[in-house]
Structure 1
Amino acid sequence: MLLRYAAPLTALLMTLISLPLSAETDEEESGSAELPEELMVQCLKIAAPGAGGELTIKQLRELCNTLAREDANQQDAVRRALEALSDEAEGKDNDSDPTGNSRILERRLGMEALNRANRFLLTPHRRNYLLPVSYQEGRNIEPYTQADSQLTDQKKIEVEFQLSVKILIREGIFGDNGHLYMAYTNHSLWQAYNEDISRPFRETNHQPELILSFVNDWEIFGFRNVLNEVMLTHQSNGQSGALSRSWDRVMVNTVFERGPFAFSFTPWYRLPESEGDGPDDPTGDDNPDIEKYMGHFELSGAYQRKENILSLMVRNNLRSDNRGAVELGWSFPVSSTTRGYLKIFNGYGHSLIDYDHHTTAVGLGVIFTDLF
């Protein structure tokens, strides 16, 4: 339900950032300010097509006025962050930088700035998708055998989905830059077609993060650096005993773009844990060798061709044994509101339970929030 109203609410905010920044009147200070009729008409024109039939004109007018009052303190920041989006809404061509390269990440960064100005919206973080068909060759049943679990009997086809959101904690820590977020990503593998053992979730990985994010606009070798982040990340499957997997990392993410191509480089440092007294000791390290398989960095790239987005992710441990992973993705339009998603993974770490198990997984479904 929340995502359904994201588009009209964002459209409303785009109208509101065009308001002149002037001294507040007594009426505004009392909390009863209303938009001038000319701006109200503009706001309604933008909001009405995506608002749904259950909202009346009166309710839309009230929403326009409410957003105008609540977001007055953030209009300046939103205006600066969304210059490109405002131009796009007026039909201007502002999709390229001075060198003629298309800025494919401009829209996403702009939308995130809009969400920061609206406390009723959660901002997508990583990709959000649902793959009703996820086929995995070479099932890893050893951990479940050790735990005496029914999941030793697995179907090769399961359901895979990911939910990833973030919320703003504090904006503009360093002047007009430096935004602190809390994020959460849930990646689940569900044996939905395995009715013999009551359709259990085979694995669920939880990844809460604290993120300090900086937008940027400088170039090197023709590539524009648009975003830099420092992240404190915990990842766990929420299990105990032989099935327990977890690790903590400090990560740095830097994002570049040039034309229809964007890439990010994310190295990390694993925070050390005590060895404990074995796998049954809850204070010990569940997976001391995880870096040998999951590597020390992740390199991701994406290329947009019309409405299609092709992506590549590579992880490597920089060792002679060459462990790591490769993931290919393709998202494509299915309808005006739906995009298809094909994902192919090969290597280690498709999930935490499989961090030391080499597998190939192919999934097909829909993606709700893409890279850009």
Structure 2
Amino acid sequence: MKISLFFCLWFCVFAAPLWASDLTQGGPFEAQGPYLDQGLFEENYILPLTERAKAPQDGRTEEIQFRFSLYQKVELAQQRFYVAFTQTSFWQAYDLEHSRPFRETNYNPELFWATNPLEVLWHPWLHLGFEHESNGGREPYSRSWNRIYARLGLAGDHWKLRHKFFWRLSEPAKQYPLDPKGDENPEIVDYYGLNEMELVWTDEQKVWQLHGRFRYNLSKTRGASELNLTYPVGMNGTFLTLQYFQGYGESLSDYNHQVSKVGLGFSLNRP
């Protein structure tokens, strides 16, 4: 297991940036081309040092968190369609007593159409899509839901704004506790919210970047805030990353548990 951990860190810091350096620009989040056929989608990172204020139900306060996220353009009716996949894992690598298990992994495939209909100030763009999110577990630990969404974006010289509105596709209620066809998390919207706003600020030298992600449900006064502060560390496509999270929906299994945590590590790309 120590060898596996060493390999993950080595790949992220040294090897992966060489592969990723040409895949971080011109993607579906860019208002202007040229557009790449594939690349990095959401932030790809590894946070070897992550500390929670409270331990999860099945683990320690410290763990490793990592995410990889890719997209692929799909040719369909001469339109910009994309498929994307994001995987976020929470690894209890410091829990020697229980053989360093993975506490949770969330899988998030999606399909969306992208357009930038107006060549005007702030370069607006629009995504319309469908996404599924699951933890890949079996009953009674399975968690999943499906959504359709509209994501809007604007960009200035040193800032970016994204706002995502999503609507959950309803599922029938469970007929019995282990019913595989019933709704596994009927209250998830109450905690996760139906809106997600992202604000990105980069300094004039394009060195420091602050990326905020905010989810909210105004009627329930719940949601979450995530802040990422990044700084390039000299290797092409690698950024030192400090992440702070506060709120609900950190993972699917803990969507209704309030979490406060801070993490330190490296990212391969940033918005």
Length-normalised TM-score, structure 1 = 0.63
1:156 aligns with 2:55: no
8 Å Cα contact 1:137-1:361 kept in structure 2: yes
1:185 aligns with 2:86: yes
1:273-292 equivalences under 5 Å are 273-292=171-190
In structure 1, C-alpha distance between the alignment counterparts of 2:101 and 2:22, rounded to whole Å: 37
Look up the SS of the partner of 1:291 in the other structure.
Answer: helix
1:347 aligns with 2:247: yes
In structure 2, C-alpha distance between the alignment counterparts of 1:6 and 1:347, rounded to whole Å: 31
Q: 1:170 aligns with which of 59, 72, 75?
A: 75
Deviation at 1:4, TM superposition (A): 2.6
1:326 aligns with 2:225: yes
Deviations 1:53-104 (A, max 9, x none): xxxxxxxxxxxxxxxxxxxxxxxxxxxx8xxxxxxxxxxxxxxxxxxxxxx9
Length-normalised TM-score, structure 2 = 0.86
The one-letter code matched in structure 2 to 1:365 is G
1:197 aligns with 2:67: no
* Distance verdict in 2 for CA 1:334–1:271, change over 3 Å: same
Deviations 1:325-348 (A, max 9, x none): 111111111113221011101000
The one-letter code matched in structure 2 to 1:139 is A
* Distance verdict in 2 for CA 1:7–1:237, change over 3 Å: closer
In structure 1, C-alpha distance between the alignment counterparts of 2:113 and 2:106, rounded to whole Å: 22
Alignment RMSD: 2.3
Deviation at 1:195, TM superposition (A): 1.3
In structure 2, C-alpha distance between the alignment counterparts of 1:322 and 1:2, rounded to whole Å: 40
Aligned residues: 252
1:105-124 equivalences under 5 Å are 105=30, 110=33, 113=35, 115-116=36-37, 122-124=38-40
Segments of 4+ moved more than 6 angstroms: none
The equivalent of 2:146 in structure 1 is: 248
Bigger helix fraction:
1
Identity of matched residues, % = 31
The one-letter code matched in structure 1 to 2:18 is R
The equivalent of 1:213 in structure 2 is: 114
Look up the SS of the partner of 2:68 in the other structure.
Answer: strand
In structure 2, C-alpha distance between the alignment counterparts of 1:333 and 1:310, rounded to whole Å: 13
The equivalent of 1:130 in structure 2 is: 46
Deviation at 1:311, TM superposition (A): 1.0
Gaps of 5+ in 2: 1-14
Deviation at 1:361, TM superposition (A): 1.4
Bigger strand fraction:
2
* Distance verdict in 2 for CA 1:302–1:276, change over 3 Å: same
In structure 1, C-alpha distance between the alignment counterparts of 2:127 and 2:87, rounded to whole Å: 20
Higher relative contact order (CA 8 A, sep 6+): 2
Q: 1:364 aligns with which of 242, 264, 268?
A: 264
8 Å Cα contact 2:42-2:86 kept in structure 1: yes
8 Å Cα contact 2:17-2:235 kept in structure 1: no
8 Å Cα contact 1:326-1:346 kept in structure 2: yes
Deviation at 1:137, TM superposition (A): 1.6
Deviation at 1:217, TM superposition (A): 3.9
Deviations 1:236-271 (A, max 9, x none): 001122321110000111110123111101000100
The equivalent of 2:6 in structure 1 is: none
The one-letter code matched in structure 2 to 1:210 is L
Look up the SS of the partner of 1:352 in the other structure.
Answer: coil
In structure 2, C-alpha distance between the alignment counterparts of 1:8 and 1:303, rounded to whole Å: 22
The one-letter code matched in structure 2 to 1:335 is G
Deviation at 1:130, TM superposition (A): 0.5
When Rg is computed on C-alpha atoms for both structures, the one with the higher figure is 1
1:90-109 equivalences under 5 Å are 105=30
* Distance verdict in 2 for CA 1:179–1:240, change over 3 Å: same
Look up the SS of the partner of 1:168 in the other structure.
Answer: strand
Deviations 1:17-37 (A, max 9, x none): xxxxxxxxxxxxxxxxxxxxx
The one-letter code matched in structure 1 to 2:167 is Y
